């Protein structure tokens, strides 16, 4: 989708350049960035900041989170072919990763701290596919759960109520 917009409007894209300053000027904007090669300045009539958050994953701060088989980054879905995969989260990144991994043959389970996904915040083209896979049982959904421990052989999930842990609730081993 984004590539087609870039091509349609012949946009000039600068990736991997953290923006350090953005100033409004009479003719548009002045943008200062800090790539590895040193500071750069650009002028533009319009600016789109595609900030994303993939480089700053949400850490769980639980035992086992730093084990070698645990990843905070989504790389190649083919790495999970014929493997069991637990995806924690319920927004765009988690939903898209779940669908992509399932499509290439992973056995996917989603743990989400809420009872269901916020359909206003998940990309509209992903939700129908995700719903269909959950209903068909091809993607397992564990609503109102949050990981509390990761080991080499299992992940312990605790039940939640409205996204918050339930004190004293027994973990579910997955």
What is 34-71 written as a DSSP string? --TT--EEEEES-------STTS------TTTTSTT--
pLDDT digits (tens, 9 = 90+) for 51-64: 655 556 678 889 98
Task: State the pLDDT at residue 138.
Answer: 97
pLDDT digits (tens, 9 = 90+) for 60-107: 889 988 888 888 878 888 999 999 999 999 998 899 999 999 999 999
Written as six digits, the tokens of 149 are: 């421990």
Q: Is 31 in the same domain as 99?
A: no
Q: Is 82 in the same domain as 162?
A: yes
pLDDT digits (tens, 9 = 90+) for 106-149: 999 999 999 999 998 899 999 999 999 999 999 999 999 999 99
The pLDDT-based confidence of 3 (bands split at 50, 70, 90) is confident
Exposure letters 64-98 (e unless 16+ CB within 10 A, then b): beeeeeeeeebeebeebeeeebbbbbbeebbbbbb
Q: Which residues span the domain enclosing 104? A: 77-173
| Cβ-based neighbour number of residue 50 at 10 Å | 7
The pLDDT-based confidence of 174 (bands split at 50, 70, 90) is low
pLDDT digits (tens, 9 = 90+) for 19-47: 899 999 999 999 999 888 789 999 998 88
Q: Is 82 in the same domain as 22?
A: no
Reference 108, options 137, 147, 70; nearest CA is 137
- Is the Cβ–Cβ distance between 148 and 156 less than 8 Å? yes
Q: Is 39 in the same domain as 83?
A: no
Number of domains in the chain: 2
Exposure letters 9-46 (e unless 16+ CB within 10 A, then b): eeeeeeeebeeeeeeeeeeeeebebeeeeeeeeeebee
Q: Is 158 in the same domain as 98?
A: yes
């Amino acid at each position: 989708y984004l590539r087609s917009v870039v091509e349609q409007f012949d946009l000039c894209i600068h990736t991997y350049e953290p923006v350090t300053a953005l100033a409004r000027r009479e003719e548009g904007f002045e943008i200062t960035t800090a790539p590895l090669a040193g500071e750069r300045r650009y002028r533009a009539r319009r600016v789109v900041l595609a900030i994303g958050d993939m480089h700053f994953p949400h850490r769980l701060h639980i035992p086992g989170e730093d084990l070698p088989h645990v990843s905070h980054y989504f790389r190649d879905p083919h790495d999970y072919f014929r493997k069991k995969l637990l995806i924690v989260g319920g927004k765009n990144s988690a939903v898209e990763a779940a669908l992509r991994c399932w499509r290439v043959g992973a056995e996917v389970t989603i743990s989400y701290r809420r009872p269901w996904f916020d359909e206003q915040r998940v990309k509209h083209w992903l939700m129908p596919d995700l719903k269909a896979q959950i209903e068909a049982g091809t993607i397992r959904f564990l609503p109102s759960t949050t990981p509390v421990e990761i080991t080499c052989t299992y992940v312990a999930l605790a039940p939640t109520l409205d996204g918050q842990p339930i004190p004293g609730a027994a973990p579910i081993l997955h």
